[in-house]
Structure 1
């Protein structure tokens, strides 16, 4: 066999052993927020922040509510939200958010309070959406006009105020008129998405992924 024929044969054998070496990915955006996005990669949903790379090798370069830019195998791609259309007179699917567990097993998700972007940590042990007074000031919430209460925390009993938020959204699921507790001081360090919101959505877990689904 000539050397040229032998090289061609070896090349074809290598291709047969590694048919997917070039790699391919089906990538769509399921949810978009500032510097974060829920990306579907070959059927697996990954909650990613800008700069993170998924196990499949997809890097989220940037994200906003208008779109996201990802990098895969040296090429950059622009993504926008996938639109679902109900057919055959079926009711459109309810809004759904999937949250993969992050550091320490916590579920974190970008959202909005009264239209302003925030970061939430899901806390099923919190009776209401909870934040500290600095968070409230940044969001323009006049918490001192709310009902003054005392709440028990891991650091002891603290002064807090019960207020009502016009709108709270986790991902694409927005709920109106949600109770919140504003703790005076710097705790909690992250805004907690508590049961005053969670009790108004359907919540379940699938293979370690927290699933929130709107009821309407």
Structure 2
């Protein structure tokens, strides 16, 4: 019970990745999606009801409605609304990777933290989906497993995770398919990063 309470207290953000029948696929603090039926609880987040592409969840008396594909909602007490938060808490998922849903220019995105990436990186398909006209960007040569290919350097108006939002973030778009976007140092260097066991905390510096 003590361990469960500790986990529940750290549920900072919750997103709805999809629906599996009447079960909600919840992503809590960037962890792998978990199917949760109405009345069940996952990491301190209880599913109250599901309908279509929506789910009503509750944590610590706070009840919100999630919709598939929308940015995660903040369930913790850190920061305020409207993108004015200053703290992001991520929990390592399968394989030790830090995954998190977020938004680019107001459109839903799925990130994997990559401290070895110079900037945010995404595929052309993802760039198109979030409304980036990347072919107007600066052409760059990119080294891949299949040799040198041409990508494009672009500037993102905004990148948001939970209630934390930063502006004018550099990114590169590659023609290769990618399972998710890489959250690289053009975003990460704006934060003070600390890691303890399987939890990463990012505190906004500017």
Both proteins in one fold, TM over 0.5: yes
> Whole-Å Cα distance in 2 between the matches of residues 136 and 49 of structure 1?
23
Equivalent residue for 2:95?
A: 104
Aligned residues: 174
Runs of 4+ in 1 over 2 A off after TM superposition: 24-39, 46-50, 52-63, 77-85, 153-156
> Whole-Å Cα distance in 2 between the matches of residues 114 and 143 of structure 1?
13
> Whole-Å Cα distance in 2 between the matches of residues 205 and 100 of structure 1?
10
User: Does 2:16 match 1:31?
Assistant: no
CA contact (8 A) 1:59 1:70 kept: yes
> Whole-Å Cα distance in 1 between the matches of residues 172 and 42 of structure 2?
40
Equivalent residue for 2:140?
A: 149
- Pairwise CA distance, 1:150: 0.5
CA contact (8 A) 2:31 2:99 kept: no
Unaligned 5+ residue runs, structure 2? 18-25, 65-74
Give the direction of change, closer, same or farther, for the CA distance of 1:56–1:131 in structure 2 (3 Å limit).
closer
CA contact (8 A) 1:70 1:78 kept: yes
> Whole-Å Cα distance in 2 between the matches of residues 131 and 31 of structure 1?
23
Structure with larger Rg: 1
Task: Kindly indicate which of the two structures has a greater share of residues assigned to strand.
Answer: 2
CA contact (8 A) 2:193 2:203 kept: yes
Unaligned 5+ residue runs, structure 1? 1-19, 40-45, 72-76, 86-92
TM-score for both structures, normalised by structure 1: 0.66
> Whole-Å Cα distance in 1 between the matches of residues 193 and 43 of structure 2?
30
User: Does 2:35 match 1:51?
Assistant: yes
Q: CA RMSD in A?
A: 3.7
TM-score for both structures, normalised by structure 2: 0.69
